[in-house]
Structure 1
Amino acid sequence: MVETAAPRVLVVDDDDNLREVMTLILEQGGFQVKSAWDVNSALGLIGCQTFDVLISDLHMPSAGDGLTVVGAMRHSNPKAVTIIFSAYPEMKEAAAAILAQTDDIIVKPEAIGDLVRLIREKLEKGKTAPRVLASVATILEESSQTTIENWLSRVLRDDLVITVRLEDSLRTAHLPQLIRDLVFRLRNPQPLGSRALISSAAAEHGVARRVQGYTAAMMVEESRMLQVSIFQTLQNNLNRVNFSLVLVGVMEIADEVDSQLAQAMTSYVAQSKVDALPITA
């Protein structure tokens, strides 16, 4: 009879005592255990070894660190059972998005004694169909119309911006191309802070806003609300976003929106010189 190798478990927690206790419990339960004390050490192990199970703290020390580890495990070991645990009991009630990324969430330390049973149950059931996670670019592309509608609803509630009366189609005319530019940037990342790609649409938008009677402050406020609407779109899609890519994506979005605003403002100022009107702050 061929012996089945003991399942390999990776435990990730920055609490040395708790990590050692979990390692001991799991080894006594018949598992092979490796442990990591932070995200970087966990990513190093995931990159060079294969695991059947991941058990990770959610906060190490930053909120969501555990989801970064889960994302890496999903990529490198897609068949692995992944379990997140947290010191906060309310996480059970607020875990819908997290459970979309992982197989279970438990509260420590009360549930630590049930680890062996929980893992064996998960392994016996086998992996369900892999969750299809989407990139930030894909979510933004698929939800572009929803994002635009969210932005427009914010703008129409802003007492300053709506002093310029425009049809909705004119107010939102620049957004489809801007979102396409964002998606392109996310799929073809540039070093943050590098010289922005020239956007003729951004320049045209600056001229249009000048002609329409916008002030510079209105343009800045619209840009701010656009970032809020984009981040709301990501928030609404937490159940499918790839958490390991979210932080980089958010920084790329902020950088690109700011770059396009700068280009629009440049053409806005240039247009003000052409029409010989003062620049209105």
Structure 2
Amino acid sequence: MTEKTKTRLLLVDDDPTLRQTISLILEHGGFEVRCAENVNEAIKLIGSETFDVLVSDLHMPNNGDGLTVVSAMRHANPKAVTIIFSAHPEMKAAAAAILAQTDDVLVKPAAVGNLVALIRDKLKTGPALARILTSIATILEEETQATIEDWLARVKADRIVLSIDLNKAKRAAHLPQLFADLVFRLRNPLPLGSRAHISPAAAEHGLLRREQGYTAAMMVEESRMLQVSIFQTLENNLHRVNFSLVLKAVMAIADEVDSQLAQAMTAYVAESKIDAEPVLA
């Protein structure tokens, strides 16, 4: 095998000793190896060079780092074989999400000895067919009602918020429009630092919550629980999303929900001030 025909492989691992060991094994197996010690280095190499294989650690130091690298490789080199290494054998909980985006998952260091044979086998069969990944906006659109039900369950467990006696329909009346605004925001992203869109529905919600007897603290707590429910929905659907887009989406979600809370609170406080003014004869 000449230098020109060697299979090009990108190895990503933040452990220098293991990275050197695996690199030597792979080079001895006939691969041309390029190394990166973190996600940023890996993405730079993926953007500037072409690779046939990716072998990446899963945790560097964050749990999803390896999947971010896999997503970048899938986008830049869709024909590349991608293999994830993990130091943790308890992979069952994350297996669906991981296998949705990579060709195989190995537990290190025990599997290192089989790595060369595995790569050769994967190269013969080719990478797994590209999975159909769903946008986070679509997931939230499809799971709106389920997320609202999750939120209602959290509210039901909060005795302070529950002290305001409302049926489910009235308590969650603002949420369909909020989710519609959120989906629109995700599909029409704003530049970082931009003000969120004005939502008349958010102001109306603030006025309604005041009429219903909510305190400002109750409104803040409901908003906090809503974010938890939204992120729970995303966690339940990790196997359907592109990991490289998750961080931006989470930032947009948090900003939109907080913005709508701020608009609701502004209307709430303004109405309170009007009511507090003395009545002139």
TM over 0.5: yes
In structure 2, C-alpha distance between the alignment counterparts of 1:192 and 1:148, rounded to whole Å = 28
The equivalent of 1:198 in structure 2 is: 198
Residue in 2 that maps onto 1:186:
186
Look up the match of 1:269.
269
Q: Distance in 2 between matches of 1:93 and 1:210?
A: 43
- Which residue pairs with 2:127 in the alignment? 127
- SS of 2:5 mapped into structure 1: coil
Report the Cα distance in structure 2 between the residues aligned to 1:103 and 1:259, rounded to whole angstroms: 40
Contact 1:192 1:255 in 2 (8 A): no
Identity of aligned residues (%): 71
Amino acid at match of 1:168: K
Deviation digits for residues 35-56 of structure 1 (CA, Å, limit 9, x no counterpart): 1111111101111222221100
Q: CA deviation at 1:135?
A: 2.3
Mapped partners of 1:93, 1:143: distance in 2? 21
**Residue 212 of structure 1 corresponds to which residue in structure 2?**
212
Tell whether the 8 Å contact from 2:207 to 2:264 is kept in structure 1 after alignment. Answer: yes
Give SS of 2:85's match.
strand
In the TM superposition, what are the counterparts of 1:148-167 in structure 2 within 5 Å?
Answer: 148-167=148-167
Shift of 1:157: 2.1
Query: What displacement does 1:95 show?
Result: 2.5
CA distance in 2, matches of 1:20, 1:62: 21
Partner SS for 1:62: coil
SS at match of 1:18: helix
1:229 counterpart residue number: 229
What CA distance in whole angstroms lies between the structure 2 residues aligned with 1:240 and 1:195?
A: 29
Q: Distance in 2 between matches of 1:208 and 1:191?
A: 31
Deviation per CA, 1:114-171, whole angstroms, max 9, x where unpaired? 1111111212222332111222222112211111111111112211111111121111
Aligned ranges for residues 86-97 of structure 1 at < 5 Å?
A: 86-91=86-91, 94-97=94-97
Native 8 Å contact 2:103 2:128 kept in 1: no
Contact 1:10 1:53 in 2 (8 A): yes
Aligned-pair distance for 1:73? Answer: 0.8
SS at match of 1:89: coil
Aligned residues of 2:13 and 2:56 also touching (Cα < 8 A): yes
Structure 1: 4+ residue segments shifted above 4 A = none
Amino acid across the alignment from 1:11: L
User: Which residue does the alignment assign to 2:146?
Assistant: 146
**Amino acid aligned to 2:5:** A
**SS of alignment partner, residue 132 of structure 1:** coil
**Larger CA deviation: 252-261 vs 27-36:** 27-36
RMSD: 1.9
CA contact (8 A) 2:11 2:34 kept: yes
Return the alpha-carbon distance in structure 2 between the equivalents of residues 12 and 37 of structure 1: 6
Q: Is the 8 A contact 1:227 1:257 kept in 2?
A: yes
Alpha-carbon distance in 2 for matches of 1:110, 1:92:
18
CA contact (8 A) 1:92 1:106 kept: no
* Equivalent residue, structure 2, for 1:44: 44
Contact residue 98 and residue 239 of structure 2 kept, 8 A: yes
Deviation at 1:4, TM superposition (A): 9.3
- 1:52-91 matched pairs, under 5 angstroms: 52-91=52-91
| Counterpart AA for 2:247 | L
Aligned length: 275
Structure 2 length as normaliser, TM-score?
0.92
What is the alpha-carbon distance in structure 2 between the residues aligned to residue 45 and residue 234 of structure 1?
29
CA displacement, residues 33-92 of structure 1 (integer Å, 9 cap, x when unaligned): 211111111101111222221100112222221111111111111221111111222236
Instruction: Give the TM-score normalised by the residue count of structure 1.
Output: 0.92
What letter is aligned with 1:235?
A: E
> Given that residues 56 and 85 in structure 1 are in contact (C-alpha distance below 8 angstroms), is that contact kept between their aligned partners in structure 2?
yes
